Amino acid sequence: MTSPEPRDLPAFASDQPRAKRAAPVGGTSSFSLFSLMVLLTSVAFFLVVNEWNSLVAFIGTLLVAPALVRTTILADRRLRSGRPWSVLEKLQSFAWSLLAVLATALVALLAFALVSLLFGVLGLLFGWAMGIEGLEVDSAVVGTAGGMIWGMGAALLTATYLVWRYWFPEE
């Protein structure tokens, strides 16, 4: 390897022309300073709600965090395709994302309730078929408790399927 000639080395950095900043892959940034300020305002709002009622803040976090992740992923997809979103489009996407999170949670809750109820009814029918007095209620309770375990699995599978199938449509 040869060493550079002294005439090739810059004497001072100010003598060199300023290099242009390279744009991120896929174009310009989709999230601006305004987006950062909206995010900081949201965090401040969360802290106020948390001070007021921790349960409401917890439930809000369970709904808003996945919606924010979904909106960010969709905005990144749009940016990579060369069509960055405006602020209004981001807000609309966030609202739809919040609705998608709420719908997914409700469908998963419905799957949990149906499976738990089905196991409880089957336990009740089993106790009734055995003909032992008082066994109906006991077997219904045991069936419902077992159904809650299976219901949680059904809820997780349902939520996973909905996220995989409907949350990130191909554009």
Quick check: helix, strand or coil at residue 87? helix
User: What burial letters (b/e) apply to 51-78, b meaning 16+ CB within 10 Å?
Assistant: eeeeeebeeeeeebebbbebbbebbebb
Q: Which pLDDT score is estimated for 51?
A: 85
Rounded Cα distance, 46 and 25, in Å: 33
Residue with tokens 């940016």, as numbered in its chain? 79
Q: Where are the domains of the chain?
A: 31-167
In the chain, % of residues over pLDDT 90: 19
Rounded Cα distance, 117 and 138, in Å: 15
Q: What is the chain's mean pLDDT, rounded?
A: 79
Segment 126-131 mean pLDDT: 79
Rounded Cα distance, 47 and 53, in Å: 10
pLDDT classification of 21: cutoffs 50, 70, 90: very low
Distance (Å) of CA 51 to CA 41, 46, 56, 68: 15, 9, 10, 22
Instruction: Dump pLDDT digits (tens) for 61-87.
Output: 888 889 888 888 888 888 888 887 887
Q: Which pLDDT score is estimated for 102?
A: 93
Rounded Cα distance, 118 and 58, in Å: 30
